[in-house]
Structure 1
Amino acid sequence: MRRVFLFVLAIIAAGSVMAQTDSASRSNMISHKNMPRSGDHFMLQFGYLGWNGTPDSINTSGFPRTGNVYFLFDFPFKTSPQWSAAIGAGIGSDNMYFKETSVGIKDITSSLVFKNLADTNSFKKYKLSTVYLEAPVELRFTARPDDNKHSFKAALGVKAGLLMSAMVKGKNLENKAGNTINSYTMKEKSKTFFNKNRIAATARLGYGPLSLFGSYQFTTLFKEGVAPDIRPFSIGLTLSGL
């Protein structure tokens, strides 16, 4: 974790040096204090969720998805308004879907069991959901800081997360022939098998209020030795503004 934060600080420092060099080469530089700008303080993200390292024995299905909401403070570099650093907080949620499978997050076992239910009863819809309290940090570049809504943008950063909730949810119990046995919703919550903290690299690239985002988790989703070494990743769209 310390290496990740040192890496981000190095990126920010490098960006600052680049900005100072650029500003020194232009005699007519406009001060950022006199330049109106929107800092993209609010970010709403939605996208596809993947699990790197998932063995073939785990039967995922559907469209796994991630959703994030962040509020960040943007700090433009004094020497160049095109560069800035942002830090904030928010909520990140992931939803992974399964077919003919149960995930024993409440089982009293030494390891997390992904049970194949192809030959018995299973839920028609079944998912594993996690929710994190997160702190993102970004190094940002905006081509036109005086017109943020009509500008090319790029950002590179990391986010640290604290696990708030882990839950499995099943809906509509069926037999192996696909016939409904009972139309009800089952919920189970437990954080026993999960890593309580996560660190992920992030990147964004876009124009105006819309951008593509990607993230890759350095830390494993589950504790060491209790489940496969799965590292989630995501890609999707960001809507930003304010």
Structure 2
Amino acid sequence: MFERVQRLTPAAVTAPAAPQRHRGPRHRRGARPGRIGAVTAQGFLLLLELVGVFAFALDGALTAMRAAHLDLFGVVTLGIVTAVGGGILRDVLLGELPPATFSTWYYLATATVGALTAFWGHRLVSRMSRPILVFDTIGLSLFAVSGAQLAVHAGVGAGQAILLGGLTAVGGGTLRDVLVRRVPTILTGGLYAVPALAGAAVAVTGPLLGLEAGVAAFAGGAVCAGLRVGGVLRGWRAPSAPRSAREGLDG
């Protein structure tokens, strides 16, 4: 993957090859510590992302079961839509085809396991509100930040990247709500889309202000998680239309 290409000059072609000294196992083991560290970091981020996929599928399936009378296929389908729908929409808008969800097996497998867990163990899972909130917050933060950074790498502008980061995080839940014929959660005043957009904005604008991409991503995830948890625990809500305005429109 990280191959080093060496150009051959005329001198390099005609010169005799220099004798190479044998490198023992100790040298081979420590040859590329940077690459090992990068692989470890990528594996850890993938693990966190799969935790977020599982949590999104679990929460999406539970929400769908409360909103409509569904069979096993319906619950699993809506759980998968909640978990990976936003990423699929992002990849389609960016022209990244086929979407990453269909290029690997573990995203769909993890989402399926999460939805099945909700279907068979919904009585137990419904009591585990705090762990589900933690996992859901991790998924929301990771999807918002990673979606925005992928959009930046694809060459779109900062504003579009922020919107695509928010879409990655909340698009699946919106599709689920539409499929069960209810007003999408992001439109009813709860802090869900706002934390995702705020985290994506920090991740995108940070490098423009001189921050390293990794630092900006961590800061964006922290902002998203803080707003999401604060909204749940302290009851923070986005401003809503006054009831008098709705009654005036109806009248």
Which structure: greater helix fraction?
2
TM-score (norm 1): 0.22
Higher relative CO (Cα under 8 Å, sequence separation at least 6) belongs to 1
Which structure: greater strand fraction?
1
- From the CA coordinates, give the structure whose radius of gyration is larger: 2
TM-score (norm 2): 0.22
